[in-house]
Amino acid sequence: MANFNRVILLGNLTRDVELRYLPSGVAVAEIGLAINDRRKNQAGEVIEETTFVDVTLWSRTAEIAGEFLSRGAPVLIEGRLKYDTWETDGQKRSKLRVVGERMQLLGARGGRERQGAGGTGAESGRPAATVAASQSAEHDFAGSPPGDDIPF
C-alpha cells in the first residue's frame, strides 16, 4: 500500500519564534500557527473556526524563521505530520505536529502587512522568499547565491 504524508498550511504565527540550538549545533525552531476557516452553517450564518497547529523547523529554515518572523506574521509552511508521544508524571501524552520542510515568508519588510500581486505580500511585485530545509549552506534562499539580499 502506498503512503503519502504532506501538509500545506497558510496562517499567522500565534507567538514569537522559539529558536534554540542542539549540542550538535543544529538550529531548531518551534512556531505556532493559527489557520482561520470561514464557512456557512445550515442556517446560513457565517462561522469562523480557528485551528492551532504546532510546527517544528530545522537548520537554516529555523534560523531564518527566528530572524524574520514574529507574532502575527503570515507564513506558508509545507511539511509532514508527525505523531509525538511522551510520558509526564506517569501519564502518557501525545500530540500531532507538523515538521516543516519548506517555508515561504509572506509579509512585507518591517512588519508592514501589505498584500501585493498574487497575494505574496511583496509590494514591489517580486516573489516572497522561499526557504527549504534541505538546502545546502551555500544557498540562503531557493536559487539565490550566497551574499544576496533577501528577495522580498
Helix (H, G, I), strand (E, B) or coil at 138: coil
Find the range with the poorest average confidence among 2-16, 51-65, 111-125.
111-125
- Is 2 a domain residue? no
Residue pair 132/102 in contact (Cβ under 8 Å)? The answer is: yes
CATH of the domain at 30: 2.40.50.140
Task: Quickly list DSSP for 47-114.
Answer: EEEEEEEEEEEEHHHHHHHHHH--TT-EEEEEEEEEEEEEEETTEEEEEEEEEEEEEEE-SPGGG---
Average pLDDT, the chain: 79
- Is 54 a domain residue? yes
What range defines the domain where residue 40 resides?
A: 7-132
pLDDT for residue 133: 52
Tens-place pLDDT, residues 24-46 = 999 999 999 999 999 988 888 99
- Is 145 a domain residue? no
Gap between the Cα atoms of 87 and 89, Å rounded: 7
**Band of the pLDDT at 53, cuts 50, 70, 90?**
very high
User: Is the model's pLDDT at 50 over the cut of 60?
Assistant: yes
Gap between the Cα atoms of 110 and 108, Å rounded: 7
pTM for the complete prediction? 0.68
Q: Structural domain tally of the chain?
A: 1
**Band of the pLDDT at 142, cuts 50, 70, 90?**
very low
DSSP β-bridge partners for residue 12 = 34, 74
